[in-house]
């Protein structure tokens, strides 16, 4: 007996582009005529890969194409990917809100999906009544809810307001109550879509803790879609990366996340690497900045402690007297790690006016950086202190660990000098 809880077999989902109108009737009639004669839907043969940036040629698009994977019982799997990669469609299929165009999903046990918290809440009903309403919509019986009522109220922390209509609740309270109900559903399979993005920090922590309990303590299977890499990392040992409606990688969370970061950035770097981009101030053109390591090679993966230089190639078409460049380094959770501005560096001064092609190099204090992935954004200002260009998409690089021990990483590492006094 295998331990597979969910199995996706050749799952595809097709959507039609454009609006519903007279044009769709002919397709519908044709499809119906094929189905009546027992033939295959003719429009399932067409359709293109789901890439929202390129212009569509066909009228149909595959939001999901040939998805095959299995999830073992008790696994907590994160699903990550860019907007429109098909994550939500996948969850919608699993929660049976819509059906796949082809393929079969098999699952063991009850599936509860949290695509939204507080589905079916009625503003006129009291908190208590809404717990029953929402709980039954999610598939609980009245008896089950009654048994868990106190626990739910306690978890949501809304005891005082439980007999007040939900319309008097703050939005945070509504979310807490909604999540509390869902967390006490006790399904064998729990499907969660980014609902943790709401609520205050304390509640998010509580929610993640609860989900960890659900998976670890009670052996339930959880699928978790999120853009919050921090939450994914702390919750899911396994991760699945979606790209243009396909599964591009399944595996250990750290590997998948770093691949995702790389994927997200590789595109725009290679796209504009050798292109000169004109800034708002037409006297200045710039190439996409890149990183060089100790071997003076352009690279994106560095080992810990290695020097990292950010290089800006700038072309001054007309004379500049002054220029200010600033960079900021964020980790993948969006925490700002460091900033550096050319104007703050006392050793850096522009002695003569700028003309022609000039390289600016920022040598990062990289030895303090812990091993993880980083995103860099930059901005340039002219003499009048006007921002003339800034990065729209962050550039990314990552640092591979070389530390001798596995201590707590922290934002800074090796940031201390050791001495011994006898």
Partner 1 sequence: MESEKEHWDIIIKPRDNSFSLNLGETWKYRDLIKRYIHRDIVTAYKQTVLGPIWYIIQPLFTTIMYMFVFAGIANIPTDGLPQPLFYLSGILIWNYFAECLGRAQGTFLSNAGVFSKVYFPRMVVPISGAISTMLKLAIQVATFAVIYLYFYYAKGIDISPNIYILLFPLLILMTACFAIGTGIIISSMTTKYRDMGILISFLVSLWMYITPIIYPLSVMSERYSEYKWIIALNPLTPIVETFRFATMGTGEFSWASLAYSFGVTVVVLIAGIGVFNKVERNFIDVV
User: Which residues make up the interface to partner 1 (CB under 8 A)?
Assistant: 1-2, 7, 15, 20, 24-25, 28, 35, 92-111, 113, 115-116, 119-120, 122, 124-125, 129, 132-133, 136-139, 141-142
Angle between helix axes 142-156 and 127-137 (nearest 10 degrees) is 120
Neighbours of 233 (CB within 10 A): 16
- Shortest distance (Å) from residue 244 CB to partner 1: 19
Nearer to partner 1, 124 or 202 (CB): 124
Whether the Cβ atoms of residue 256 and residue 249 lie closer than 8 Å to each other? yes
Helix H or strand E segment including 215: helix 201-216
Measure the CA–CA gap between 130 and 163, rounded to whole angstroms: 10
Instruction: DSSP letter for 300, please.
Output: S
Task: Choose between 164 and 234: whose C-beta lies nearer to partner 1.
Answer: 164
Q: Which is nearer to partner 1, 1 or 420 (CB)?
A: 1
User: What's the rounded Cα separation, in Å, for the pair 322 and 361?
Assistant: 16
CB-wise, 90 or 362, nearer to partner 1?
90
| Closer residue to partner 1 in complex, CB, 100/289 | 100
Distance CA 245, CA 83 (A): 11
CB 378 within 8 A of CB 312: yes
Write down the least CB distance from residue 376 to partner 1, Å. 38
- The DSSP annotation for 362-418 comes to EE--GGGB-SSEEEEEEEEE-TT--EEEE-SS-EEEEEE---SS-----SB-S-S--
Residue entry with tokens 């002219």: 382
Task: List strands edge to edge, sheet with 238-243.
Answer: 111-114, 189-193, 221-225, 76-81, 238-243, 246-252
Q: Report, in Å, the least distance between residue 83 CB and partner 1.
A: 18
CA–CA separation, 364 vs 348, rounded Å?
14
Q: How far is the CB of 167 from partner 1 (least distance, A)?
A: 10
Q: Which is nearer to partner 1, 101 or 253 (CB)?
A: 101
CB of 259 to partner 1, least distance (A): 29
Whole-angstrom distance, CA of residue 4 vs CA of residue 72: 4
Tell me the closest approach of the beta carbon of residue 220 to partner 1, in angstroms: 14
Question: Cβ of residue 209: shortest distance to partner 1, in angstroms?
Answer: 24
Rounded to a whole number of angstroms, the minimum distance from the CB of residue 13 to partner 1 is: 9
Looking at 224-252, list the stretches that DSSP marks H as alpha helix, in order from N- to C-terminal side: 229-235
Q: In what helix (H) or strand (E) does residue 65 lie, and over which residues does it extend?
A: strand 60-72
Closest residue by Cα to residue 117 from 97, 101, 103, 131: 131
101 or 244, CB closer to partner 1? Answer: 101
Question: Which residue, 220 or 287, is less far from partner 1 as judged by CB?
Answer: 220
For residue 90, count CB atoms less than 10 angstroms from its CB and return exposed for 0-12, middle for 13-18, buried for 19 or more: buried
Question: Minimum CB separation from partner 1 for residue 68, in Å?
Answer: 14
CB of 336 to partner 1, least distance (A): 35
Q: Which is nearer to partner 1, 118 or 289 (CB)?
A: 118
Question: Which of 122/403 has CB closer to partner 1?
Answer: 122
């Amino acid at each position: 007996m295998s331990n597979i809880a969910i199995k996706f077999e050749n799952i595809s989902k097709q959507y039609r582009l454009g609006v519903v109108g007279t044009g769709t009737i002919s397709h519908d009639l044709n499809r119906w005529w094929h189905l009546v004669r027992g033939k295959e839907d003719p429009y399932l043969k067409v359709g293109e890969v789901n890439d929202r940036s390129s212009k569509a040629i066909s009228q149909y698009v595959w939001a999901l194409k040939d998805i095959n994977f299995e999830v073992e019982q008790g696994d907590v799997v994160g699903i990550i990917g860019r907007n429109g990669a098909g994550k939500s469609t996948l969850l919608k299929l699993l929660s049976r809100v819509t059906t796949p165009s082809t393929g079969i999903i098999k699952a063991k046990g009850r599936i509860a999906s949290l695509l939204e918290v507080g589905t079916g809440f009625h503003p006129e009903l009291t908190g208590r009544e809404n717990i029953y309403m929402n709980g039954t919509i999610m598939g609980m019986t009245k008896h089950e809810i009654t048994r868990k009522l106190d626990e739910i109220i306690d978890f949501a922390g809304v005891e005082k307001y439980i007999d007040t209509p939900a319309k008097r609740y703050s939005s945070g309270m509504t979310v807490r109550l909604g999540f509390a109900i869902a967390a006490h559903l006790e399904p064998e399979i729990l499907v969660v879509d980014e609902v943790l993005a709401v609520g205050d920090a304390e509640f998010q922590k509580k929610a993640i803790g609860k989900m960890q309990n659900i998976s670890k303590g009670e052996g339930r299977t959880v699928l978790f879609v999120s853009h919050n890499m921090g939450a994914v990392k702390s919750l899911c040992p396994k991760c699945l990366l979606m790209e243009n409606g396909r599964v591009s990688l399944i595996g250990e969370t750290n590997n998948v996340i770093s691949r995702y970061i790389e994927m997200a950035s590789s595109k725009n770097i290679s796209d504009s690497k050798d292109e000169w981009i004109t800034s708002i101030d037409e006297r200045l053109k710039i190439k996409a900045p890149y990183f060089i390591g100790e071997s003076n090679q352009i690279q994106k993966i560095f080992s810990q402690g290695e020097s990292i230089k950010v290089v800006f190639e700038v072309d001054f078409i007309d004379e500049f007297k002054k220029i200010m460049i600033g960079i900021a380094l964020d980790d993948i959770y969006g925490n700002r790690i460091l900033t550096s501005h050319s104007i703050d560096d006392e050793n850096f001064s522009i002695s003569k006016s700028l003309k022609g092609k000039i390289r600016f190099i920022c040598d990062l204090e990289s030895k303090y950086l812990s091993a993880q992935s980083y995103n860099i954004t930059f901005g340039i200002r002219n003499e009048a202190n006007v921002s003339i260009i800034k990065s729209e998409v962050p550039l990314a690089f990552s640092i591979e660990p070389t530390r001798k021990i596995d201590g707590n990483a922290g934002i800074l590492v090796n940031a201390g000098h050791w001495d011994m006094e006898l």
